[in-house]
Amino acid sequence: MKKLLVLLMAAMILSSGSAFASAYTGPAVQAKIASEEIEGDFMTVWANKFSDHMRTWSDGKIDFTVYPYGTLGTTGDINELAQLGVVQCVFSDYAWISAFVPQAQVLALNYLFPTEKVPQTLDWMMKNGEFMPLMTKHFVDNGLVPAAIMFEGWQWLSTKEPVKSLSDFKGTKIRVMGSKLLVEDYKSYGASPTPMSYGEVYSGLQMGLIDGQVNPLFAIYSMKFFEVQNHLTQLKSEPFLGIPAFNKDFFDGLTKEAQAEIIKFWQDAIIPAGEWIIARNQSDGEKMKKEKPSLKFHTLDDAAVAQFKAQAETVYSKYVEIGGEGSQKMLDTLLKDVASASKALGIK
């Protein structure tokens, strides 16, 4: 355990460029990556970039095959497959992986991150903070090794009726990802949250089983949720965060050089991947406006944000109950890291 954490910490502070001058001399590796998202969306695109990088770095000896959403099961299934070692890597998010690492739900708490420079904040945390080694310990205890925390854009609320205040949200049936904490987040706003698999959301909206859902803009566009919704609202509450994680036994079986290169790739990718998805979300937002001119975009004003934030903070103590052993330390450490990163980056 200590050796693994030391390795991960060492990889966090490596400068950009190739970490090792010599060519890879380890054994050939064939592995699978299960992505939570469809072909062309963030997780699958960056999983393929990672696969290409490792193939090039190893002179073709390390070959990861990427499986987009639906090819190996649902969002819940693929996390279990990674924990069992049926697949060697899963690119999932803080919510769906919480069934296997409940402490990771701290990332689902609303209004923790600054509303600007989120990729830079995460990059600072990986290189200088105390949160990632702590999160790594909880993952390792559950048979997984996280490589980084990736920003995929801000979550947007899509609904049939406009939401501009807490009172507008009351009683709205909202689909959320499979996390007890996310359910508590949206219950605190007066909504009626319902966990539902990604592939069931469109039909759920179409048939009126749910009134709305929460996802980044690229997902709302690629999964066509906007076709059966009227309003998109930015609550300024929740960055969508992805976590590429490896089966521990598989990771332990790799050479130290390959382990370090894997961690280095993902942590070096935090800012460029963040810039990529910011541009993609902006582009997909414009496409939705063009394809459905009646679609309305809203951003909560400061007064409404203050109301939502006050309700969100009532959930922080519930995380300590839901997250299990070590959760209070996880929350305290995350708050400390975000504050330190904000200070270092000049974020007010």
Q: Which amino acid is at 279?
A: A
176 Cβ contact list (under 8 Å, min separation 6):
95, 182, 183, 185, 186, 193, 194, 195, 196, 213, 214
pLDDT number for residue 23:
78
What secondary structure letter does DSSP report for 18? Answer: -
Report the pLDDT averaged over residues 146-169: 96
pLDDT number for residue 300:
96
* Cα–Cα distance measured from residue 343 to residue 206, given in angstroms and rounded to the nearest whole number: 45
Q: Are 90 and 84 within 8 A, CB to CB? A: no
Pairing of strands 296-299, 231-234: parallel
Pairing of strands 150-154, 144-146: unpaired
Average pLDDT over the chain, rounded to an integer: 93
* Cα–Cα distance measured from residue 135 to residue 243, given in angstroms and rounded to the nearest whole number: 11
Same fold, 28-152+240-277 and 154-238+283-345: yes
Residue 97 has a CB neighbour count (10 Å cut-off) of 31
pTM: 0.91
Report the pLDDT averaged over residues 193-215: 95
Residue 184 has a CB neighbour count (10 Å cut-off) of 23
pLDDT in tens, 257-287: 999 999 999 999 999 999 999 999 999 999 9
Q: Are 220 and 158 within 8 A, CB to CB? A: yes
Min mean pLDDT across 7-11, 86-90, 121-125, 166-170 is at 7-11
Residue ranges covered by each domain of the chain: 28-152+240-277, 154-238+283-345
As given in the structure block, the two tokens for residue 120 are: 């830079």
Residue 249 has a CB neighbour count (10 Å cut-off) of 12
pLDDT in tens, 72-83: 988 889 999 999
Q: Are 111 and 209 within 8 A, CB to CB? A: no
Q: Which amino acid is at 63?
A: D
Please give the CATH number for the structural domain made up of 28-152+240-277.
Answer: 3.40.190.170
* Cα–Cα distance measured from residue 211 to residue 159, given in angstroms and rounded to the nearest whole number: 6
* High-pLDDT (> 90) share of the chain, %: 89
As given in the structure block, the two tokens for residue 105 are: 């739900």
Please give the CATH number for the structural domain made up of 154-238+283-345.
Answer: 3.40.190.170
Report the pLDDT averaged over residues 181-185: 95
Residue 1 pLDDT grade (very low, low, confident, very high; cuts 50, 70, 90): low
In the numeric block, the tokens 């809203």 are attached to 298
CB neighbour class for 41 (10 Å; exposed up to 12, middle 13-18, buried from 19): buried
pLDDT number for residue 52:
98
Residue 92 has a CB neighbour count (10 Å cut-off) of 28
Q: Are 83 and 144 within 8 A, CB to CB? A: yes
Length of the chain: 348
